[in-house]
Amino acid sequence: MERIKQIREALKGLGKQSATLMEVCGTHTMSIARNGIRSLLPEGVRLVSGPGCPVCVTSQGEIQTALDLAERENVLLCTFGDMMRVPGERGRLEDMDNVKIVYSPMEALTEAEKDRDRQVVFVGVGFETTSPLIAATVQEARRRKIRNFSVLPFHKTIPEALRLILSDPEVSIDGLILPGHVSVLTGRRYFDFITEYGTSGVVSGFEALDILEGIYLLLRGMEEGQREVLNNYTQVVKDEGNLQAMNTLYQVFESSDALWRGVGVIPESGLIFREQYRDFNALERFSTPVPDIPEPEGCLCGRILMGKSIPPECPWFGTECTPQRPIGPCMVSSEGTCAACYKYPEVVFKR
Ligand code: SF4
């Protein structure tokens, strides 16, 4: 295939034996595995998975908080489907009665409007892709005076996690394949900071050819000595992003420190309600702090999310931990690296 040949030549031109590229987004992780991209690439090109799986970065304490709320009387907990099978300390959401899968936060708001005597709580997980929509839903709830609706604010934002990865000597990343969906909202420029770390990036679509082209562009740019953030998904991603959506996001939320699963607190990597919207904060409404619960012993999800480990290095991978009996969210989520590695075992994860 012509593109593979170009990648091989660009790698040769780099004058080094190998290049490590990180795909930030879980959708890319799954597409790379499904399309066997790792096995197509020349020996020296190594792909590692990054932190962009929303369910995978949700801490054990946050999952337990959602479970505890679902146990309360007169509460309906609404969540995206991927959260249903993640094990908490005591059970899973899929085993509980008062839990409903929704496809958007607006659907949860509709539930609240249908029965104003019941508290409806939406589990707010995800990155910049989903948080503007959640912010818009909160504003709509206020406009329609739907007061029995609230949100668990477990959102994360990508830049500070990437800064952490790029400054970690254990993870030497030469280039980033940047998330197409997030970039539709944030814009390409949002990621310009990565060049401060001597790293290039390319915003990419999700088809195999998009990803291969992104890899080629990264290597060619490195060969030419350029450090830049390219946009190879121009059909939907603009330099400045969706300003209206981002304004809505920051009308309702502001940046805060956030706890990432298996990683710890990353400063300014989450979102909390602004003062004028805090009556929609489910943690305050139900006076429930997020407990500090350690991750399951031996689970390497945190290291995998930071590009430091690969699934086969986990002692539980494929034995104690499988999609049928998952231990950590990386095996549950449809965007999780362990799930991708289990589902497509022919995929070679290089060290
Ligand atoms: S295989 Fe299971 S236990 Fe191991 S890192 Fe993945 S999710 Fe965690």
| CATH code matching the domain that covers 2-53+168-231, chosen among 3.40.50.11750, 3.30.1330.60, 3.40.50.720, 3.40.190.10 | 3.40.50.11750
Q: What are phi and psi of 277, to 5 degrees?
A: -120, 10
Residue 16: per-residue pLDDT: 73
Residue 349: per-residue pLDDT: 61
Residue 223: per-residue pLDDT: 87
CA of 87 to the centre of ligand 1 (A): 12
The rounded distance, in Å, linking the Cα atoms of 35 and 207 is 9
Protein residue with its CA nearest to atom 3 in ligand 1: 299
Residue 60: per-residue pLDDT: 92
Q: Which atom of ligand 1 is nearest to the CA of 295?
A: 8
Residues with CB under 6 A from ligand 1: 299-301, 304, 311, 314, 316-317, 321, 327-328, 330-331, 338
Domain ranges of the chain: 2-53+168-231
The rounded distance, in Å, linking the Cα atoms of 191 and 227 is 12
Residue 347: per-residue pLDDT: 60
Of 57, 263, 310, 321, the one to substitute when testing ligand 1's pocket (max ligand atoms within 8 A of C-beta) is 321
Q: Comparing C-alpha atoms, which of 18, 77, 25, 70 is closest to residue 44? A: 18
Of 63, 263, 299, 341, the one to substitute when testing ligand 1's pocket (max ligand atoms within 8 A of C-beta) is 299
Determine contact, residues 317/341, Cβ cutoff 8 Å.
Answer: yes
The rounded distance, in Å, linking the Cα atoms of 229 and 341 is 28
Hunting for tokens 């981002």 — which residue is that? 246
Residues of the chain with confidence (pLDDT) below 50: none
Q: Which atom of ligand 1 is nearest to the CA of 332?
A: 7
Determine contact, residues 91/77, Cβ cutoff 8 Å.
Answer: no
Hunting for tokens 């792909």 — which residue is that? 47
Determine contact, residues 285/75, Cβ cutoff 8 Å.
Answer: no
Residue 269: per-residue pLDDT: 98
Residue 206 burial (CB < 10 Å; 0-12/13-18/19+)? middle
Q: Which atom of ligand 1 is nearest to the CA of 314?
A: 4
The rounded distance, in Å, linking the Cα atoms of 151 and 65 is 12
The rounded distance, in Å, linking the Cα atoms of 302 and 314 is 11
Protein residue with its CA nearest to atom 6 in ligand 1: 338
